[in-house]
């Protein structure tokens, strides 16, 4: 019997995939350097392609930003691991904080840039909402015992507080507005979480 072989990809398709990936990676590299207001000419020049080629692969800059945001999520998801609810609160809190702070720090460059586009892009707003839901699921798993002891009438308020305290907006305020170090920002978030959950330990 003939050996199973992966489908062949013709040269043009392969070059197209490489160009598309190069454009996405260029956006990620530029925002990592703090360049937030990117233009088609600056992206194309940095990627080493023509503006025409850029718009052959992406119909507009919004679609390129969306692809870059999706790539950021793809790179970030491996940082997120389920937290066992059987552990002590202190252990779960430390594990959660280590994980959440890494994610917030890793996504900050793209989040800063994408926030400029989000008010005008329903697709980017959907990405933000998806990220929020992923974060909410983490909170629900990590602190299920404490939330389970919280009176039902207060649970949604406590959960909302946990979401806000661990959100990117709060992290940005601590790191950029307040100018805190990574360690001090983490300590501040820990303080917020302990205050919210202390009554239910």
pTM of the full structure: 0.87
The pair of three-digit structure tokens given for residue 91, joined into one six-digit string: 């252990």
Give the CB-side neighbour count of residue 128, counting CA atoms within 13 A.
Answer: 21
Region 66-87: what's the mean pLDDT? 91
Q: What angle do CA 84, 86, 89 make, to 5 degrees?
A: 90
Query: Are residues 179 and 102 both part of a single domain?
Result: yes
- pLDDT bin (cut points 50, 70, 90) of residue 85 is confident
- In a domain? residue 24: yes
Query: Are residues 38 and 86 both part of a single domain?
Result: no
Per-residue pLDDT reduced to its tens digit, 97-138: 999 999 999 999 999 999 999 999 999 999 999 999 999 999
| pLDDT greater than 60 at residue 9 | no
DSSP collapsed to 3 states, 86-107 = CCCHHHHHHHHHHHHHHHHHHH
Query: Are residues 164 and 192 both part of a single domain?
Result: yes
Domain hosting 41: range is: 11-58
């Amino acid at each position: 019997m003939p050996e199973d072989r992966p489908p062949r990809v013709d040269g043009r398709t392969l070059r197209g995939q490489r160009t598309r990936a190069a454009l996405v990676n260029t956006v990620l590299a530029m925002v990592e350097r703090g360049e937030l207001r990117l233009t088609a000419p600056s992206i194309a020049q940095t990627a080493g392609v023509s503006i025409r080629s850029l718009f052959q692969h992406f119909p507009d800059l919004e679609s390129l930003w969306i692809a870059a945001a999706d790539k950021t999520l793809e790179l970030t998801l491996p940082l997120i691991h389920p937290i066992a609810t059987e552990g002590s609160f202190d252990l779960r809190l430390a594990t959660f904080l280590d994980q959440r702070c890494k994610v917030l720090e890793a996504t900050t460059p793209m989040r800063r840039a994408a926030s400029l586009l989000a008010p005008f892009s329903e697709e980017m707003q959907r990405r933000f909402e998806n990220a929020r839901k992923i974060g909410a699921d983490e909170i629900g798993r990590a602190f299920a015992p404490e939330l389970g002891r919280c009176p039902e009438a207060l649970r949604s308020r406590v959960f909302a507080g946990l979401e806000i305290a661990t959100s990117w907006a709060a992290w940005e305020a601590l790191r950029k507005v307040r100018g805190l170090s990574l360690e001090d920002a983490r300590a501040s978030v820990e303080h917020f979480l302990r205050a919210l959950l202390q009554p239910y330990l």
